[in-house]
Amino acid sequence: MKKYFSGKKVMRMICLLFSVGILLYMYCPVPVLASESETHLTGTTDERTNRREPGESESQEELQELNIGNTFTITYNDGNGQLNGSLRILITLTLIALAPILILMLTSFTRIIIVLHFTRAALNTQTAPPNQVLIGLALFLTFFIMQPTFQAVYDNAVVPFEAGELNQQEALEEGLKPFRQFMYGQTQERDVRLFLEISDTEWNGDLDGIPTSVLIPSFIISELRKAFIIGFYIYIPFIVIDMVVASTLMSMGMMMLPPTTISMPFKILLFVLADGWNLIIGSVVKTFY
């Protein structure tokens, strides 16, 4: 028993000394010595974080420049910005996160995907083609239609910004111009006037007088209207087939048999014989030109 109690006391003393040592290490400052040659904060002597020795600035312009040269830098000089690779990756990832919203709202994707869904509903094929196929087809058709717009954004905004000819604000304005031009060509005037009246904004009748906050919702409403009009025209021949099949079944006394079950093969046959996908997709794409 004595050995047990003595061993227990020894363990308590060791734990107490260990705790005191940790507290002393946390609250007592530890001096760090550095040689005169080690003026950088991180990195090695071959790759320094400062581009020149501290205190060597001779003018106000040199003082405004950031004296860093690591892998995450922003250089600001006379209003022109230059971003390095790491920060560009961060901005690219942010744009990728916003890309679905931009594709849905600022491109031809909305009209195309609605027309494709109307086509599938008119055929009454339920999940054929599946949603993944329709979305993939709509994305590639959107890229095909918007390619001139994307190229104009790259030539007028991205390339000059990379060359330092434009700052961030000017690059953003130049990048929006092709999208605004595209949306303006597909937007009806009554939709623009609706949101201008709601926002109590005067309009001189041209594109420059329409704020982007007004142009985007006006474009979306116009796209929805056009998509539903096209969907109505797609439904007409298939409704005729449904009516003919329903009348035939009623005349034969087969009122308990769903007409859609009998009419679906005839719809598919008509769609295939008329080369429906070529007609619908070609017609939708041509509405943007």
pLDDT in tens, 196-214: 888 888 888 788 888 888 8
pLDDT at 251 over 90: no
% the chain with pLDDT above 70:
70
- The per-residue pLDDT for 17 is 63
**Alpha-carbon distance 66 to 87, whole Å?**
15
**Using CA atoms, how far apart are residues 283 and 23, in angstroms rounded to an integer?**
77
Token pair in block for residue 192: 């623009």
What tens digit of pLDDT does each residue of 36-53 get? 444 444 444 455 555 666
- The DSSP 8-state label assigned to residue 55 in this structure reads T
As a whole number of angstroms, the distance between CA 241 and CA 262 comes to 10
Verdict on whether the full-model pTM lies above 0.75: no
> Which tens digits make up the pLDDT trace of 113-161?
999 999 999 888 888 888 999 999 999 999 999 999 989 988 888 888 8
The Cα–Cα gap between 263 and 243 comes to 9
**Distance, CA of 242 to chain centre:** 41
